Structure 1
Amino acid sequence: MSGHGFHVHGPHDHEVEHAAHGNDSFASKIAVMTAILATVGALFGYEGGATQNDAAMFKNNAAIKKTEAANKWSYYQSKSSKQNLAELAAILPGADTEKYKAEVARYKTEKEEIKQQAEALEAEVEKWEHASEQALHQHHRWAQAMTAIQIAISLAAITLLTKKKWLQVTSYGVAGVGLVLAALAWMHI
């Protein structure tokens, strides 16, 4: 196209312009359907990304709690070692038996508290692991729904090119499958 009013169309440009300005209701329906599917697909993609991030965050929380639990168990082990040394010291000839018995009792009490804390942390690990697995499952459902919507959009494009009614129906069917999968994701199934 030049600036002097002379305009040259290629064959493809002519067909696109004709389709855009024509009164082809079939093409218009497919275009609207494609736009709706693209919007729905974008929403599914967002939800899929959000649940994937949740799964990663929950897994990270589980790892942090697992490290804290391991630290508590190490602390528990050090208290056990000190208790064992106090028990050995108590049986040595000339040892202050009462002092070491008091230490043994103190270490037993401290160990019990540490054990409860470690077990509570392990329970939190399980909770975060479960939450991560649930979010990952939900992510997979959203990804399946998104894939179905993308296939429906591709079928709609082929429908527009071939003008085959059965492809339009197939596109609607695949989009319906995508909506069912999204409903399952939404309900955490």
Structure 2
Amino acid sequence: MTYDPALEAHEHAEHAEHAAHEHDPFINLVSITVAVLAVLAATVGSLETIEAGGAITSASEAVLAQDKATDAWDEYQADSLKKHIYGIAADAGGAKAAKYADTAKEQTGKQAEVKKQAQEDETERDKLLAASRQHEHRHHWLTAAATLLEIGIAVCTVAIITRKRPFWLGSLGLGLGGLALFAVAFLT
């Protein structure tokens, strides 16, 4: 069975709603806290998933950009060999020496274009790797934020069962901690 934070938060909210029917002001307050924490946990959990997907997608695109750069550098090397072979043939003289010299010059121009493309592909790769690292960084902070929010929900449930204010205050602290980590995810 897979873990579904949204479903678990919903179940906690239902327990809190059931307890709220007792018309105890403390229980009502804790029930509202559960609902707020559940919404926050579901939101942070969704953003966590989006960031994980972004990290994977950017990393995959970086691999493709590196493959393109590698192919371009391979073409650059092949053109370099052709240029040298035609240069040697032109230096050897003969009836086609001028043609070989022209072809060697063409290879030089082609090499410049291929080199430029390879460097552009490497720049794209670097940008994608940086984006992947940023997504992964956010994902880690959001994972911690969602965890604190979910623990806060569980502690609220304990507050409902025991009717102890310190548990409720603890859940508020955990919720604030989760929000702080959420903020860190997008500010750093």
Question: Which secondary structure state, in structure 2, belongs to the residue aligned with residue 91 of structure 1?
Answer: helix
Are the equivalent residues in 1 in contact too, given 2:19–2:31 (CA < 8 A)?
no
Q: Deviations over 1:32-65 (max 9, x none)?
A: 1111111111111111111111121211221111
Q: Distance in 1 between matches of 2:33 and 2:21?
A: 18
2:149 matched to 1:157? no
Runs (4+) of structure 1 moved beyond 6 Å? Answer: none
Q: Which of the two has greater helix per residue?
A: 2
Deviations 1:7-34, CA, capped at 9 Å, x for gaps:
xxxxxxxxx9x95542322222211111
Partner of 1:57: 57
Verify the 8 A CA contact 1:148 1:178 in the aligned structure 2.
Answer: yes
Q: Partner of 1:97 in structure 2?
A: 97
State the alpha-carbon separation in 2 of the partners of residues 93 and 22 from structure 1: 103
> How far apart, CA to CA, are the structure 1 residues paired with 2:59 and 2:184?
23
TM-score (ref. length: structure 2): 0.84
Range 84-93 or range 129-138, more displaced: 84-93
**Which residue in 1 is equivalent to 2:7?**
none
Larger mean Cα displacement after TM superposition, 90-99 or 48-57: 90-99
- Give the TM-score normalised by the residue count of structure 1: 0.83
Q: Is the 8 A contact 1:149 1:174 kept in 2?
A: yes
Instruction: Give 2:174's aligned residue.
Output: 174
Q: Judging changes above 3 Å, is the alpha-carbon distance between structure 1 residues 21 and 86 closer, same or farther for their aligned structure 2 residues?
A: closer
Q: How far apart are residue 133 of structure 1 and its match?
A: 0.6
1:9-158 superposed matches below 5 A: 19=19, 21-92=21-92, 94=94, 96-158=96-158
Query: For the aligned residues, what is the CA RMSD?
Result: 1.9
Alpha-carbon distance between aligned partners in 2 of 1:164 and 1:63, rounded to the nearest angstrom = 54
Provide Cα deviations, 1:92-116, integer angstroms capped at 9, x if missing partner. Answer: 3646322222121111111011101
Number of residue pairs matched by the alignment? 172
